[in-house]
Amino acid sequence: MKKNQRDKMNQSTVKQIAERGYSLAKEAYYGKKDKRKLVVVNKTCISLAVQMRHKNQDYYKTFGHYPDLSWNEFDKQASDFIADVLNDRINSVSNITLRQHYLDIVLPMSVAEHKDTKGFQQRLETLLDAYGDYKLSAVEKHHILKLLNELTEGRETSTLARYLAAYSKFFSIAVDNSLLERNPCKGIKRPRENPSRTRLIAQEEVTALIEGVFKYKNQTMALSVLLCLFSGQRQGNIRSIELSWFNNDYTQLRFPTSKSGKPLTVYLSPIAIEIVKLAIKYSDGTYLFPSHIPNQHIGKPTRCITYLRKFITDKTGITEHWYAHDLRKRFATSQMQACGDLNIVREMLGHADLKTTLIYTLTNNERLVQANTDTAEALLGCSSLTSFINNLEE
């Protein structure tokens, strides 16, 4: 963190700093008279904090964020905190609470790095509601287990697993920042997820979906769903596409980060390219699928999916429920049937393990019957079972 000295710090100077906007690289400002009181400029917020060292121990505490907290209010609270440290009324940096850690470090990190930051924040709300005023060092394994047990009712095990992952990430950030020695989530077994869904969207449903896409009133939303189907990519990836991620002829799409945390290059078919070109006319110059809110991409196409479900049911009579993620499975299954190479499907989906890809490549009954027929004929060695029976009778 880069530190910048100012002659003095007051409400006016803090306002000047805020008017410059947020900084990509974390930096702090302090006054010449007291270097312990900081105005910390992050990617998404401006924090008012104290950083000091006393008796070989480091202390750091965030009191709030500008403009919600004025400099004068912060100055008084910070002075009281410094006095408590100097008079040994505060023992160590471990006095930081879960809520302070969330506001100062976790939230800015999530907003800057997570595609689904709203979902991450929502899951952490349960942790903060229960233990927000606890010190980081006071939360132990049994606290997390108790909270997960309270969340069990009305939630699937897969959802509980996501809550646990969010909690673990929260505490691992504290460990990485030397605010905590050990993650209290360590050793807690991930809740067993329900068996993978075997729902495979039928070809007649796919045909109806494509027709429904071009009848939906919001083409930005609808085309994002269609590109999910024809690229096999996750809905979150598709929604966040920036035009700069394409190569010159749109045959390649490079996601800077994926679910695994690594970049992912996707090779687009001519049909997928055609969908991209249809979407470009709705683009804002930055995002392929822009939101009505400036400088943001679209959110989840929930209403669009609901419309398409009803449209498909009305068209085909098929009432079995499907999710947006089932489009990814339909793509994977169709690609496996077309090329017969599981590794190609794995690379297209961005999976690290073939075992994961196998979950996505579902087999319909017709394919099973044909596979069994081909196997039986191979076992007979180009003969018929009848010929064996006739030979036996002779």
DSSP code per residue over 2-30:
EEEEES--SHHHHHHHHHT---SS-EEEE
pLDDT at 204: 93
pLDDT at 330: 87
pLDDT at 273: 93
What is the bridge-based pairing of β-strands 252-255 and 264-267?
antiparallel
The angle formed by the CA atoms of residues 43, 44 and 46, to the nearest 5 degrees, is 95
Residue 332 binned pLDDT confidence (cut-offs 50, 70, 90): confident
Return the structure tokens found at 365. 């009954």
Give CA separation, 358 vs 194, 204, 208, 247, 332, in Å.
Answer: 16, 23, 26, 30, 9
If 0-12 CB within 10 Å is exposed, 13-18 middle and 19+ buried, where does residue 136 land?
buried
pLDDT at 377: 64
Query: Residue ranges per domain, the chain?
Result: 2-95, 115-176, 203-363
pLDDT at 368: 52
Could you tell me which residues come within 8 angstroms of residue 39 by beta carbon, excluding any fewer than 6 positions away?
9, 14, 17, 28, 29, 30, 46, 47, 48, 66
pLDDT at 238: 93
Average pLDDT over every residue of 98-105: 89
Residue 381 binned pLDDT confidence (cut-offs 50, 70, 90): low
Q: How would DSSP label each residue in 127-178?
A: HHHHHTTSBGGG--HHHHHHHHHHH-TT--HHHHHHHHHHHHHHHHHHHHTT
Domain 203-363 class in CATH: mainly alpha
Task: Give the fold, CATH level 3, of 2-95.
Answer: Double Stranded RNA Binding Domain (3.30.160)
Return the structure tokens found at 377. 């004929």
At 63, which helix (H) or strand (E)? strand 57-65
- pLDDT > 90 in the chain, percent: 38
pLDDT at 142: 93
pLDDT at 339: 79
Q: Which is more confidently placed, 93 or 310?
A: 310
| Residue that the structure tokens 């100097």 belong to | 86
Taking all residues of the chain, what is their mean pLDDT, rounded to a whole number?
84
pLDDT at 375: 63
Radius of gyration of the chain, Cα coordinates, nearest whole angstrom: 28
Q: Which is more confidently placed, 196 or 252?
A: 252
Residue 180 has pLDDT above 70, yes or no: yes
Q: How many CB atoms lie within 10 A of CB 13?
A: 16
pLDDT at 127: 95
Q: Using one digit for the tens of pLDDT, what is the confidence trace for 27-44?
A: 889 998 899 999 988 777
The answer to whether residues 144 and 176 touch, using CB atoms and an 8 Å cutoff, is no
Q: Using one digit for the tens of pLDDT, what is the confidence trace for 5-25?
A: 888 899 999 998 888 877 666
Average pLDDT over every residue of 89-105: 77
If 0-12 CB within 10 Å is exposed, 13-18 middle and 19+ buried, where does residue 139 land?
buried
pLDDT at 244: 96
Average pLDDT over every residue of 229-245: 92
Q: Using one digit for the tens of pLDDT, what is the confidence trace for 264-287?
A: 888 888 999 999 999 999 999 999
Residue 196 has pLDDT above 90, yes or no: no
Count of all residues that appear for the chain in the document: 394
pTM (predicted TM-score): 0.53
Residue 299 has pLDDT above 80, yes or no: yes
pLDDT at 126: 93
CA dihedral 199, 204, 207, 209 (to 10 degrees): -50
pLDDT at 85: 86
pLDDT at 57: 76
pLDDT at 263: 85
pLDDT at 385: 54
